Amino acid sequence: MREALRRHRFALIFVAVLVGVVFLPALAKREVFTVRDHTDYFQPLRYFTAIHIRDFVLPHWNPYSASGEPWLANPQTGAFYPPTWLFIALPFEAAYMLHLALHLIILGWGAYLLFARRVAPGAALAGAVAIVFSGPTLSLLDISNNLAAFSWIPWVIWAAVAGRSPAVGGCFLALSFLGGEPYFAAVAAVMYAVVTWSAGDPAREKWSAGDPAREEWSAGDPAREHEQAGEVARPPLVVPYAERLRRILLAGVIAAGLSAIQLLPFLEMVRGSDRASGLTAAEIFSESMAPRDWIRLAVPPHLNRAGFDPALSQHFIPIVYVGIPIALLAACAWIFVRRRDVLAWTALLIVSAVIATGSHLPSAALIEQSPLTLFRYPSRMVPFAALAIVALAVLGWDRFRPKRRWADLVLVAILLVDLIPRAMPLLVTAPFTPSATLYPVEAGRRAKLIRIHDRPIVDRKAWIAGYANLYHRRFDASTAAPVVSRRYLDIHDATLTGRRSDLLSLLSVGFVLSDRYVGPPLEPIAAVRGVTMYLNPAAPPMATFLAGWSSFGTPEEATKALLMNVSSTAVPVAGAPATPPFDPGAAPSTIEALTVGTRNARVVVNAARDGIVMLSQQDAPGWRVYVDGEEKEKLLAGGIFRAVAVPRGRHEVMWEWNPRSLRTGMVITIMTIVTLQGRSFVKRFARRKFSS
């Protein structure tokens, strides 16, 4: 690897400089990208995570969205992903932009080293530039978890093709998952397994990037011509199936071990979520790529002011353009190049196109019938198709390129002139202003807000959409998270569709954002660009004392009773004791204090009689409740909200978050790291002893 980096330092530095030139204006002005999900999703998500990590505190739980949701369990937060630690040492604007730039560089370097195994370094450089600045890649900038996971895909393939140890392949697979997109990580694992299974003996592969027999393109010696891989005869060597399987399984075990600290909480979060119960066909196949749109990979986009091409049938990837030169060179590879590489990249292109086309193909019914739906937005496979097309173009260029370094640089210049101007609408920047607010700061501080709208949300700032509520610590009954508790989602949706005041009270909704008139008892308090904020004066606090309730055996039964409106007054509680006799002479019970944090919640109650303290925060595996320091049995109000029975008197109720999945994952990850380091140390010691 050191030899490869030395020989190809020009190309690696060149890719990094190009990315730096694109990001330098924003870094100099201390601005951030603003298109689509930057402003209302990933920037507040990174900001909320960063302010805790800077204080060396892990944000275990997000109490502000969806009535509370696991935060570290969501891979998109990237709390355990090494590049996220940029936010510890740098100002947020610089860290946010450098985080994106770093992954473009990682993608470019990985693509270059992968391509350079089979083609001349000059052709590999052109391919690296093409994939970094292609429309599908730059379209991932505002979906930074997808970009982070995708940037490691060439490294995963490189590790398999180059026959690197399973530890290397496992590390790259783990980084792809920790980057924040489990689906991309799953695709990477499949690609690693397929390439490793089909590859020959890695020890006999001589076409590595650091092989002295290769052309030293970076040294500038035109007399040394590149030797085509197909012109060199090698004796076939069959690797035993057992050895191939061992490599694949060992890499998978290492990847799972390194990412266990994130993987186990994620799997626990998925259980019982909307993904585990299955999404609807409309949700699964939203943003499918129509067959006719594949032509637009070679047709320059016509973008509007919002950065969208109106001709596209999907906008998850707003720009699918990879360039006319790249498309022509890929066609040349199909026609004139007779190598196994062409078949491999064509297979990736076909598989990516079939998945991305989604609902436009009959095969969509197979995905729809799956009991566990982790797949969503089929068009996210377009970047994989772009990678395949660029790889084919590299093979085509290597077949016909003049054997001169200047020819490669001319092609790079043509690609930059063709690609970057068309992606400029995605690169719009503005100052980062988390303190700016369009509504009173108090709105959403003590009671939650919710949105009731008849038209699609366009003005995201006016709606406080996504995770924008995190900037001012507003409690939001909704969430933009990709995984949501199914029972909570049913209650939330019933609140909106049924217009039920009892559910608004159960959720402790004190503020409503709406684009239409909402009558009494709600009172309008502010209006911004067609969106009106209403105050619900009857909203109860998030912690309440229940003097009466209806008892059910399971959370599912309690939620069902709530949705069916069995009782408009008594809250259904799972596992609750029988309701005590009503005492008309008892004084009212009061909540004296309420504190909600990222790992605990504290309630001080003065109960005039035996009853139940309910906190309108979701329950999850790992929450434990204590009354005056003594652990008590958890109850679930409405089948989802945390509750506990308390006797008469003044009590301190404390909920603490300590999930077993996180503890177990942390132990497994530490053990895996220690094992890999110990194994590496033993190998180095053995080599030194042998040399001496």
Closest CA to 611 of 653, 577, 568, 574: 577
For residue 24, how many other CB atoms are within 10 A of its CB?
Answer: 13
Confidence of residue 43 (pLDDT cuts 50, 70, 90): very high
Confidence of residue 216 (pLDDT cuts 50, 70, 90): very low
Averaged pLDDT, 368-386: 78
Averaged pLDDT, 16-40: 94
In the predicted structure, residue 373 carries a pLDDT above the cut 90: no
Supply the pLDDT for residue 280: 74
CA–CA distance, 660 with 690 (Å, rounded to integer): 45
Q: Are both 529 and 549 inside the same structural domain?
A: no
In the predicted structure, residue 637 carries a pLDDT above the cut 50: yes
CA–CA distance, 588 with 526 (Å, rounded to integer): 34
CA–CA distance, 312 with 317 (Å, rounded to integer): 9
Answer whether 571's CB lies under 8 Å from 549's CB.
yes
Q: Which residue shows structure tokens 């994939």?
A: 131
Answer whether 522's CB lies under 8 Å from 512's CB.
yes
6 part of a folded domain: no
For residue 354, how many other CB atoms are within 10 A of its CB?
Answer: 15
Answer whether 405's CB lies under 8 Å from 217's CB.
yes
CA–CA distance, 179 with 151 (Å, rounded to integer): 9
Partners of 528 in the beta sheet? 531
Lookup: tokens for 52: 């805790």
3-state secondary structure of 498: helix
Answer whether 448's CB lies under 8 Å from 510's CB.
yes
Write the CA distances from 630 to 577, 647, 654, 659, 665, integer angstroms. Answer: 18, 13, 9, 19, 28
Q: Are both 270 and 179 inside the same structural domain?
A: yes
Per-residue pLDDT reduced to its tens digit, 49-79:
999 988 888 889 999 999 999 999 999 999 9
Beta strand pairing call for 635-637 and 641-646? antiparallel
Q: Are both 340 and 380 inside the same structural domain?
A: yes
Q: Which residue shows structure tokens 């270059």?
A: 112
Residue ranges in 116-181 assigned as alpha helix (H): 121-132, 135-138, 144-151, 153-161, 166-178
Taking the CA atoms of the chain, what radius of gyration do you get in angstroms? 28
The alpha carbon of residue 60 and the mean position of all alpha carbons in its chain are separated, in whole angstroms, by 17
Lookup: tokens for 58: 């892990």
Q: Are both 126 and 57 inside the same structural domain?
A: yes
Share of the chain above pLDDT 70, in %: 89
CA–CA distance, 435 with 597 (Å, rounded to integer): 21
Write the CA distances from 5 to 128, 165, 505, integer angstroms. Answer: 15, 18, 62
- Helix, strand and coil content of the chain, in percent to the nearest 5, comes to 50, 15, 35
Supply the pLDDT for residue 488: 92
In the predicted structure, residue 214 carries a pLDDT above the cut 50: no
Q: Are both 397 and 453 inside the same structural domain?
A: no
Write the CA distances from 152 to 145, 199, 352, 669, integer angstroms. Answer: 12, 20, 17, 20
Q: 222: which residues sit within 8 A by CB, 6+ positions away?
A: 403, 404, 405
Supply the pLDDT for residue 518: 83
CA–CA distance, 522 with 535 (Å, rounded to integer): 5
Q: Are both 560 and 475 inside the same structural domain?
A: no
CA–CA distance, 33 with 96 (Å, rounded to integer): 9
CA–CA distance, 127 with 115 (Å, rounded to integer): 7
Supply the pLDDT for residue 369: 60
Which of 535, 557, 584 is where one domain is finished?
A: 535
377 part of a folded domain: yes
Lookup: tokens for 117: 């195994």
Answer whether 239's CB lies under 8 Å from 200's CB.
yes
Supply the pLDDT for residue 228: 37
In the predicted structure, residue 223 carries a pLDDT above the cut 60: no
Of the two residues 374 and 602, the one the predictor is more confident about is 602
Lookup: tokens for 349: 């292109």
Q: Supply φ then ψ for residue 447, to 5 degrees.
A: -135, 160
CA–CA distance, 137 with 320 (Å, rounded to integer): 9
Q: Are both 244 and 124 inside the same structural domain?
A: yes
Q: Which residue shows structure tokens 């032509």?
A: 295
Please work out, in degrees rounded to the nearest 5, the angle formed at the alpha carbon of residue 254 by the alpha carbons of 252 and 259.
Answer: 95
Q: Are both 520 and 560 inside the same structural domain?
A: no
580 part of a folded domain: yes
Q: Are both 515 and 599 inside the same structural domain?
A: no
672 part of a folded domain: no
Q: Are both 259 and 404 inside the same structural domain?
A: yes
Which of 425, 459, 476 is where one domain is finished?
A: 425
Q: Is the pTM of this model over 0.85?
A: yes
What's the per-residue H, E or C state across 62-109? Answer: ECCECCCEECCCCHHHCCCCHHHHHHHHCCHHHHHHHHHHHHHHHHHH
Supply the pLDDT for residue 275: 78
In the predicted structure, residue 231 carries a pLDDT above the cut 50: no
Of the two residues 220 and 532, the one the predictor is more confident about is 532
Supply the pLDDT for residue 45: 95
Supply the pLDDT for residue 226: 40
Share of the chain above pLDDT 90, in %: 62
Of the two residues 578 and 28, the one the predictor is more confident about is 28
Give me the domain span that covers residue 322: 22-208+240-425
Residue-averaged pLDDT of the chain: 87
Supply the pLDDT for residue 538: 86
Write the CA distances from 604 to 24, 545, 635, 653, integer angstroms. Answer: 52, 11, 17, 6
In the predicted structure, residue 238 carries a pLDDT above the cut 80: no
Supply the pLDDT for residue 568: 58
Confidence of residue 364 (pLDDT cuts 50, 70, 90): low
Which of 535, 559, 583 is where one domain is finished?
A: 535
Widest CA span of the chain, in angstroms?
A: 102
Total number of domains constituting the chain: 3
120 part of a folded domain: yes
Q: Are both 468 and 392 inside the same structural domain?
A: no
Report cis status (omega within 30 of 0) of the bond before 521: yes
For residue 170, how many other CB atoms are within 10 A of its CB?
Answer: 26
User: Residue 143 corresponds to which amino acid?
Assistant: I
Residue ranges in 179-235 assigned as alpha helix (H): 182-198
Confidence of residue 587 (pLDDT cuts 50, 70, 90): confident
Closest CA to 117 of 195, 14, 223: 195
Lookup: tokens for 104: 């473009």
Partners of 636 in the beta sheet? 574, 642
Beta strand pairing call for 543-546 and 429-431? unpaired
Q: Are both 469 and 324 inside the same structural domain?
A: no
